[in-house]
């Protein structure tokens, strides 16, 4: 597979008479199919197509390529299973809420698998597929949604930040982390095991936050090795993308002085190829890139949301035809690259994963109310220690051992 | 007379304000078709149009900053912040602009902006969805800060806040939104906005609360009554300005006071209320004003929020400690 | 003069092989002369030049055009005098600080004179020239810098906001005000006395603030009638423009979906023409525009700043050759459009203005410490009234009448 | 032993911290070539390079947000906020990220970020340049907040704050930057960071202050001594956590306390300190703890700031009122 650098959009030409007063003439109405700039390598029907700038698998043998695509299929299928299972757990009252990724599997697996071990990813609250790629036990994702913790993996070990709920905040953290990589000399050395990049995930809605735009500015200013990976799933809760931007989001990068590219976020091959090129660009010291993964939130915003209030079911039907998993399955089976046994094995794995989640969720350790006091500071303060002691005494006064929780 | 929840009371109040004054606008994230994540603005866009009920881009500073401009143009924007923890991106616009423009302009420019914030915990939510940021706003001169605690107050207070020519931070106890119903008589005469209210008479101790803790404190008082203790409960309602006249009167009678809120105790509203009561009622106090509130930690994971939040027992514990002096 | 709509930059084409990995190939190094896109109608030497999209005076008779340019000369000269005088007043201890506009007169007068009465301008703290165009007595500007008030004009009456010191905050106010205009139906009616626009002034440094970028987003989303007028004076205190953006700032607009244009900010004719077109676009309901006025801060950031610590004097020398006033003067005199008597009359006016400022500054009424309590709220609170009363008593206890100020 | 101003003490402390630990970075607006508008970082970029002394784009949220990321990568960023009033655009990153990441991560991720804020008034500046935002940060669990009051503390405290594994809001009284000089002995053993200090012994009343008000309070105590009143003065130094042990001891001795700060009285640090003293020393108090501070208005135009700010006379007035009980 070629490591071709990302195309840089040309500067807008000011000459000539082609300028009109109506911006839509230029940027066009927001194309429902992603627009002519969409990078796609696998059609919804499961056909491989070429793109002038990006390709998948050209650096792999046919076998390796097929194995990789089967891997994507497995990743996506298992990720979807995590999602379905967690949604069910929420319905059964085991989780307080769940943010579904349904429909965004390709965007997440494609980009997640393009990461090297030493790269670092900063997620929002919906990157269950990326977490999977980072080797995080999906059970660890449940704690936050069950309310037993605010996140339960070690970011430094997993090279995966904690879920961040304040929209856009993590894009600045990613940029700062990337600035740290620069200072550590881990960019542009040419050593593939050393050079590292950071990826910041965010949504279409998040693109409106000041923080995200400041992250663009800092990244451009310092040429930081960060990929801004926006999953444009068309909705920010009830608000359609048009409320945030009337032109394709990837254009945003242009105005900040770095490249932007729109990829079919339901096409795992294209997402992988584009993310890989953007990450390599970052690792090589060529600075930030904005990748807009054009996709669709097929589920509700979260399990507490009711999308029937604000969007038409036809829209969902159209997007179902572009399902990211179906197209890979079609490609693999139609071309004899995966047999029934393989598909069956993945299904069994999914079953096991589901069981793991169901059983594990119940068993997730309940938090202790006293732990809360110990985690505020690295160096505990006397006044908080005193508050803890006072609360422990109070709990004791109810004749219930403090460590086991509520007196009531 | 209809029975309404707090959510419905607020919704009806907003609707009334919009009917009464065409300059009233509602804006925020998802306030339009969705009617807000809590449905407080339900149906308003349908009836008043997209120009008056404005779904905004996902940017809180933008919401408040543009509201400032609309207020300068003569509008009365009512901004919804989706959850307490998301007000901070707008903090600069609130404390440096909304709060200061009247002062900066020597009173020439009015800032009739209402910032509605669903606040407090107890709904089993994830991080940033259960905060109590009121003290930070009450500490900021130029803002007025109120908290409603029940459906009837919700109906009236939101209208009064909108009618006020000063910016009002309007706190709504989110866990009460769809809880208890109350009789709403829209023809009644409402109590003035910036006043507190004695909601239960008593003689042994004065218990102060606002927002979600009013219900808890009333329950505590009830429980204490069972043990023969007579607790007076005051719903502060307004946090800035504070209306402590009735509180001083009560404390001079009872000699003891406890302040309760969900916010962190350290530098919470309780600190100010305690300091003022002590200044004003020094010789009447038989025990120090005690405070009960959230611990000085970030809001915990929701499975233990009920322990973290002050509840009936924690309030009674403080009451007992006060009475033991 | 033609009301030609602003050129809209073409969407970046993604086809072809002209894309390279190095963004500087596309956007070029930041051109010291403003770059090829700079709109200029009057050269530093005072020669009129043509521009394909913008022109000055084509809708005026020759006499009217000359009168208008003489007016610009007068405005700029008097504005500079305000600046010099205020700087001197600061040196003499009469002002605590002063933010000089030296070198930015054309950007401010050009845009200020393009405003109609019903338009509304939101300034930073340096728009003394725009204030002049809005009919504000320059004495009223001094209060803030002298410390007797935070601003002393009525924004609604002058259609000019108060100076805003928190960088970028006013761009959102401007956008909101513009949204108000839309709701009042004062946009796109075709009635020249009714249709109104808003202009938000800000600096190159400010372009990095989240608020400014959010203002772009809101303005684009609602198609608000606002012109974002950025005076790129190359410096944000000690930081050069390159720290904020590696590419020309006007490109920023492109990524948000509205036009951007770079104008020679030291050329009052071009600034006027571009601002006029952008404002008309807004009034017509065609939405926001970003105008980057490429200029130079010839003075210090403020009177307390010491630019010798961070920039070379050669830079200043280069820019002195582009002085905005000199080129208009050269044009007027060389073409016989202004005689000695006119120039002399302007000088006398400047002298008088200087005297007005010197005398008026001393006479600016001192604030009363008690007024402070009365201006916090439209509806005074009992507790603040009580604080006021307590403080008045306290002051009285020193045996000095409260209204006349400090007891010491 | 050299005589240094607060500015020089801080500068030397920063330099020492950068020499001692290559992970220490300085960042902010104009901190490089210019050395900061107050010259606190003067010469650092020249000696440590642009990678360690980073001029940032003009965006405070960006400064703090990227500092978070650098801290996650093992750096210890020291961020300069140019003036107190410009910290608010970064407020969200400070209270929702910097303050919470250690907690959120169950202690796995440390946040050794120092946020330096020149604070307080008295320098004749325009709006937003003279604020005292400390209470808002002290109210936020997860942050530690300290204020230095003199050159020697400046030198040591900044190093200690940088060495601390928790985020520290570091408040510097800007009007003292270039005022008095003090003897700095860099070989001395510094007092621990999170401790208060009795800076003047006395027996009639305990006067509490921090930052710029320490000097004022010492002068007040001196003046009071002339009238035969013996005032004990405590420099709080740390605002979160508070170190009130020595204060309680003092108040149990004197029976009276006054807290002074420039910040608005309403919900200022004084409220918390007063509430705690009252809780802990109830039976020792002969008068309520009184507070003196900025009025509950926005900061006024600078020509009257000296009247607005609590000064020697206003402090003495409070002292007299306390003694009159
Ligand atoms: C600062 C902030 N404001 C509001 C919210 C509430 N909120 C949670 S998700 C969401 C929509 C996010 O949309 P988008 O960025 O497109 O991400 P998606 O949920 O579609 O993945 C909103 C408004 C929040 N979490 N943070
Ligand atoms: C939010 C905020 N941060 C910092 C400052 C301090 N400050 C005042 S002016 C300035 C530089 C502004 O540069 P620019 O936007 O280019 O405007 P110019 O001064 O050049 O006109 C800074 C950093 C401020 N006023 N507001
Ligand atoms: Mg989305
Ligand atoms: Mg500038």
**A222-256: per-residue pLDDT in tens?**
999 999 999 999 999 999 999 999 999 999 999 99
Which residues are in the CB-under-5-Å shell of ion ligand 3?
A 203-205, 233, 236
Q: Could you tell me which chain D residue has the CA closest to the CA of B137? A: D136
CA distance A243 to A253: 18
- pLDDT the model gives residue B200: 98
CB contact under 8 A, B275 and D268: no
Residues of chain A under the 70 pLDDT cut: 1-34, 400-408
Q: A-chain residues within 8 Å CB-CB of B298? A: 376
C 20-79 residues with CB < 8 A to A? 20-23, 25-28, 36-37, 52-53
From residue B27, give the alpha-carbon distance in Å to each of A354, B24, C385.
42, 10, 33
The catalytic residues of C are 297, 301, 310
Q: Is the CB of C292 under 6 A from ligand 2?
A: no
**Chains contacting chain C through 3 or more C-beta pairs under 8 A:** A, B, D
CA distance A302 to A310: 14
Q: C-chain residues within 8 Å CB-CB of D305? A: 147
- A178 CB burial (10 A radius; 0-12, 13-18, 19+): buried
Report CA Rg, chain C: 23
**B175-217: per-residue pLDDT in tens?**
999 999 999 999 999 999 999 999 999 999 999 999 999 999 9
Q: Given ligand 1 and candidates A236, A238, A311, which is best to mutate, with the most ligand atoms within 8 Å of its CB? A: A236
Which tokens go with C58?
């084509």
CA distance A19 to A96: 53
CB contact under 8 A, D142 and A169: no
CB contact under 8 A, D141 and B275: no
CA distance C256 to C220: 7
- Predicted complex ipTM: 0.97
Q: Is the CB of A237 under 6 A from ligand 1?
A: yes
DSSP conformation letters of A26-39 = HH-S--TT--TT-B
Among all chains, which residue has been given the structure tokens 């509602």? B26
Tell me the CA–centroid distance for residue B85 and ligand 1, in Å: 12
Q: B-chain residues within 8 Å CB-CB of D127? A: 100, 104
> Please, what is the average pLDDT of chain D?
98
Whether A310 sits among the annotated catalytic residues: the reply is yes
**Residue having the nearest C-alpha atom to atom 12 of ligand 1:** A236
Q: A-chain residues within 8 Å CB-CB of D61? A: 172, 210-211, 214
The long-range contacts involving B250-255, CB below 8 angstroms and separated by at least 24 positions, are B250/B198, B250/B206, B251/B206, B251/B277, B251/B281, B251/B284, B251/B285, B252/B281, B252/B284, B253/B203, B253/B206, B254/B202, B254/B203, B254/B204, B254/B205, B254/B206, B255/B205, B255/B284, B255/B285, B255/B286, B255/B287
* A398-402, B59-63, B310-314, range with the lowest pLDDT: A398-402
Q: A-chain residues within 8 Å CB-CB of D241? A: 381-384
Whether the pLDDT of residue B301 is over 60: the answer is yes
CB contact under 8 A, C205 and D58: yes
CA distance A387 to B293: 12
Cα A180 vs. chain centroid, distance in angstroms?
22
Report CA Rg, chain B: 19
Q: Given ligand 2 and candidates C167, C210, C212, C302, which is best to mutate, with the most ligand atoms within 8 Å of its CB? A: C167
- Tell how many helices (H) and how many strands (E) occur in chain D: 12, 14
**B220-268: per-residue pLDDT in tens?**
999 999 999 999 999 999 999 999 999 999 999 999 999 999 999 999 9
Return the C-alpha torsion angle C144, C150, C154, C156, nearest 10: 120
For residue D50, give how far its alpha carbon lies from the nearest alpha carbon of chain B (Å). 29
Whether the pLDDT of residue B270 is over 60: the answer is yes
Contacts of C372 (CB under 8 A, 6+ apart): D295, D297, D300, D304, D308
**Residue having the nearest C-alpha atom to atom 25 of ligand 1:** A166
CB contact under 8 A, C179 and B69: yes
- pLDDT the model gives residue C406: 47
CA distance D297 to D308: 9
Among all chains, which residue has been given the structure tokens 């399902």? A323
Q: Which atom of ligand 2 is nearest to the CA of C206?
A: 15
Q: Which one of A140, A168, A210, A246 makes the best mutation probe of the B interface by having the most chain B beta carbons within 10 Å?
A: A210
CA distance C90 to C203: 23
Q: Is the CB of B62 under 6 A from ligand 1?
A: no
CA distance A90 to D47: 57
**Residue having the nearest C-alpha atom to atom 6 of ligand 2:** D82
Q: Is the CB of D86 under 6 A from ligand 2?
A: yes
What percent of chain D stands above pLDDT 90?
A: 100
CA distance B126 to A146: 9
For residue C20, give how far its alpha carbon lies from the nearest alpha carbon of chain A (Å). 6
Among all chains, which residue has been given the structure tokens 């070690």? A154
Q: Coil, helix or strand for C14?
A: coil
The catalytic residues of D are 129
Domains in chain D (CATH in brackets) are 2-184 (3.40.50.970), 197-323 (3.40.50.920)
Nearest to D2 by CA among D199, D182, D135: D182
Interface A–C counts its CB contacts (< 8 A) at 151
CA distance A378 to C363: 57
- pLDDT the model gives residue B39: 98
**Chains contacting chain B through 3 or more C-beta pairs under 8 A:** A, C, D
**D232-270: per-residue pLDDT in tens?**
999 999 999 999 999 999 999 999 999 999 999 999 999
Q: Is the CB of C297 under 6 A from ligand 2?
A: yes
Among all chains, which residue has been given the structure tokens 């956008």? C175
- pLDDT the model gives residue C225: 98
Nearest to B217 by CA among B306, B131, B316: B316
Cα C98 vs. chain centroid, distance in angstroms?
15
Which tokens go with A39?
């990078």
Q: B-chain residues within 8 Å CB-CB of A162? A: none
CB contact under 8 A, C213 and A210: yes
- pLDDT the model gives residue A398: 87
Q: Which atom of ligand 1 is nearest to the CA of A241?
A: 16
Tell me the CA–centroid distance for residue A292 and ligand 2, in Å: 32
Nearest to C53 by CA among C229, C284, C291, C219: C291
Tell me the CA–centroid distance for residue C167 and ligand 2, in Å: 5
Q: Is the CB of A204 under 6 A from ligand 1?
A: yes
Ligand nearest to the CA of D37: 2
Q: Could you tell me which chain D residue has the CA closest to the CA of C99? A: D126
Tell me the CA–centroid distance for residue B25 and ligand 2, in Å: 32
Nearest to D300 by CA among B81, B325, C375: C375
Tell me the CA–centroid distance for residue C205 and ligand 2, in Å: 6
Q: B-chain residues within 8 Å CB-CB of A369? A: 300, 304, 307-308
CB contact under 8 A, C208 and D59: yes
Is D303 within 8 Å of C148 (Cβ atoms)? yes
Q: Which atom of ligand 1 is nearest to the CA of A202?
A: 15
Cross-chain CB nearest to D279 (options B96, B290, B297): B290
A235 — phi, psi (to 5°)?
Answer: -140, 140
Is D199 within 8 Å of D295 (Cβ atoms)? no
Q: C-chain residues within 8 Å CB-CB of D223? A: none
- pLDDT the model gives residue C398: 87
Q: What is the pLDDT along chain C (408 residues), one digit of tens a residue?
A: 334 444 444 444 333 222 223 333 333 333 445 677 899 999 999 999 999 999 999 999 999 999 999 999 999 999 999 999 999 999 999 999 999 999 999 999 999 999 999 999 999 999 999 999 999 999 999 999 999 999 999 999 999 999 999 999 999 999 999 999 999 999 999 999 999 999 999 999 999 999 999 999 999 999 999 999 999 999 999 999 999 999 999 999 999 999 999 999 999 999 999 999 999 999 999 999 999 999 999 999 999 999 999 999 999 999 999 999 999 999 999 999 999 999 999 999 999 999 999 999 999 999 999 999 999 999 999 999 999 999 999 999 987 554 554 443
From residue B239, give the alpha-carbon distance in Å to each of B133, B194, B206, D315.
12, 8, 17, 27
Nearest to B275 by CA among A285, C48, D270, D305: D270
- Tell how many helices (H) and how many strands (E) occur in chain A: 16, 7
- pLDDT the model gives residue A27: 35
Which tokens go with D58?
């003009």
- A189 CB burial (10 A radius; 0-12, 13-18, 19+): middle
Whether A30 sits among the annotated catalytic residues: the reply is no
DSSP conformation letters of C340-395 = HHHHHHHHHHHHHHHHHHHHHHHHSPPPPTTHHHHSS-SS--HHHHHHHHHHHHHH
Cα D6 vs. chain centroid, distance in angstroms?
13
CB contact under 8 A, B304 and A405: yes
Q: Given ligand 1 and candidates A200, A205, A304, A307, which is best to mutate, with the most ligand atoms within 8 Å of its CB? A: A205
Give me the catalytic one of A91, A150, A310, A394. Answer: A310
Q: Tell me the three-class secondary structure of chain B, residue by residue.
A: CEEECHHHHHHHHHHHHHHHCCCEEEEECCCCCCCCCCCCCCCHHHHHCCCCEEECCCCHHHHHHHHHHHHHCCCEEEEECCCHHHCHHHHHHHHHHHCCHHHHCCCCCCCCCEEEEEECCCCCCCCCCCCCCHHHHHCCCCCEEEECCCHHHHHHHHHHHHHCCCCEEEEEEHHHCCCCCEEECCCCCCCCCCCCEEEECCCCEEEEECCCHHHHHHHHHHHHHHCCCCEEEEECCEEECECCHHHHHHHHHHCCEEEEEEEECCCCHHHHHHHHHHHHCHHHCCCCCEEEEECCCCCCCHHHHHHHCCCHHHHHHHHHHHHCC
- D263 CB burial (10 A radius; 0-12, 13-18, 19+): buried
**D162-216: per-residue pLDDT in tens?**
999 999 999 999 999 999 999 999 999 999 999 999 999 999 999 999 999 999 9
């Amino acid at each position: 597979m070629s490591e071709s650098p990302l195309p840089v959009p040309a500067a807008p030409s000011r000459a000539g008479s082609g300028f009109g007063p109506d911006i839509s003439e230029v940027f066009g109405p927001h194309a429902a199919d992603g627009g002519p700039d969409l990078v796609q390598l696998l059609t919804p029907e499961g056909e491989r197509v070429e793109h002038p700038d990006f390709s998948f698998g050209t650096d792999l043998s046919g076998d390796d390529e097929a194995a990789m695509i089967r891997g994507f299929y497995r990743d996506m299928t298992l990720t979807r299973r995590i999602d379905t299972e967690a949604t069910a757990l929420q319905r059964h009252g085991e989780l307080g809420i769940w943010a579904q990724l349904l429909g965004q599997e390709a965007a997440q697996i494609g980009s997640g698998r393009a990461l090297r071990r030493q790269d670092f990813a900063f997620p929002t609250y919906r990157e269950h597929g990326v977490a999977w790629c980072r080797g995080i036990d999906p059970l660890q994702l449940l704690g936050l949604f069950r309310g037993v913790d605010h996140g339960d993996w070690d970011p430094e070990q997993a090279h995966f930040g904690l879920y961040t709920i304040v929209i856009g905040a993590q894009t600045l953290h990613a940029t700062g982390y990337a600035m740290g990589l620069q200072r550590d000399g881990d960019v542009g050395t040419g050593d593939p095991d050393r050079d590292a990049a950071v990826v910041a995930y965010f949504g279409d809605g998040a693109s409106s936050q000041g923080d995200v735009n400041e992250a663009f500015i800092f990244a451009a200013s310092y040429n930081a090795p960060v990929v801004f990976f926006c999953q444009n799933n068309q909705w920010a809760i009830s608000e359609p993308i048009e409320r945030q931007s009337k032109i394709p989001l990837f254009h945003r990068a242009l105005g900040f002085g770095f490249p932007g590219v729109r990829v079919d976020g339901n096409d795992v091959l294209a997402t992988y190829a584009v993310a890989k090129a953007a990450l390599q660009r970052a690792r090589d010291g060529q600075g930030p890139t904005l990748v807009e993964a054009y996709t669709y939130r097929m589920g509700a915003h979260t399990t507490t949301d009711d999308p029937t209030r604000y969007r038409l079911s036809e829209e969902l039907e159209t997007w179902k035809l572009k399902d990211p998993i179906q197209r890979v399955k079609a490609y693999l089976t139609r071309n004899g690259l995966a047999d029934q046994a393989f598909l069956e094995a993945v299904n069994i794995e999914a079953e096991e994963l589901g069981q793991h989640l169901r059983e594990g969720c119940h068993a997730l350790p309940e938090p202790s109310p006293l732990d809360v006091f110990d985690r505020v500071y690295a160096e505990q303060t006397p006044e908080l220690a005193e508050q803890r002691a006072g609360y422990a005494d109070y709990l004791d006064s109810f004749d219930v051992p403090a460590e086991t929780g509520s007196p009531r | 007379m209809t029975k309404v929840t707090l959510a419905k009371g607020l919704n009806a109040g907003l609707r009334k304000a919009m009917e009464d004054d065409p300059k009233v606008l509602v804006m925020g994230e998802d306030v339009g078709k969705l009617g807000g994540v809590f449905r407080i603005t339900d149906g308003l866009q349908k009836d008043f149009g997209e120009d008056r009920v404005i779904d905004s881009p996902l940017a809180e500073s933008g919401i408040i900053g543009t509201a400032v401009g609309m207020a300068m143009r003569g509008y009365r924007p009512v901004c919804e912040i989706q959850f307490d923890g998301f007000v901070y991106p707008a903090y600069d616009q609130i404390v440096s602009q909304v709060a200061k423009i009247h002062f900066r302009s020597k009173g020439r420019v009015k800032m009739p902006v209402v910032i509605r914030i669903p606040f407090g915990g107890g709904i089993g939510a994830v991080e940033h969805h259960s905060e109590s940021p009121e003290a930070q706003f009450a500490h900021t001169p130029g803002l007025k800060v109120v908290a409603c605690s029940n459906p009837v107050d919700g109906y009236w207070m939101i209208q009064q806040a909108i009618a006020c020519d000063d910016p009002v931070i309007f706190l709504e106890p989110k866990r009460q939104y769809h809880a208890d119903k109350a009789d709403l008589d829209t023809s009644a005469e409402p109590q003035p906005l910036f006043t507190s209210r004695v909601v239960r008479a008593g003689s042994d101790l004065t218990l102060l609360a606002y927002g979600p803790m009013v219900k808890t404190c009333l329950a505590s008082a009830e429980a204490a009554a069972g043990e023969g203790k007579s607790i007076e409960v005051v719903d502060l309602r307004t946090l800035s300005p504070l209306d402590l006249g009735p509180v001083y009167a009560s404390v001079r009678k009872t000699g003891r006071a406890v302040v309760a809120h969900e916010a962190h105790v350290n530098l919470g509203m309780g600190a100010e209320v305690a300091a003022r009561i002590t200044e004003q009622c020094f010789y009447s106090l038989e025990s120090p004003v005690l405070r009960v509130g959230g611990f000085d930690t970030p809001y915990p994971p929701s499975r233990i929020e009920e322990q973290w939040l002050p509840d009936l027992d924690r309030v009674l514990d403080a009451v007992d400690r006060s009475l033991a002096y």
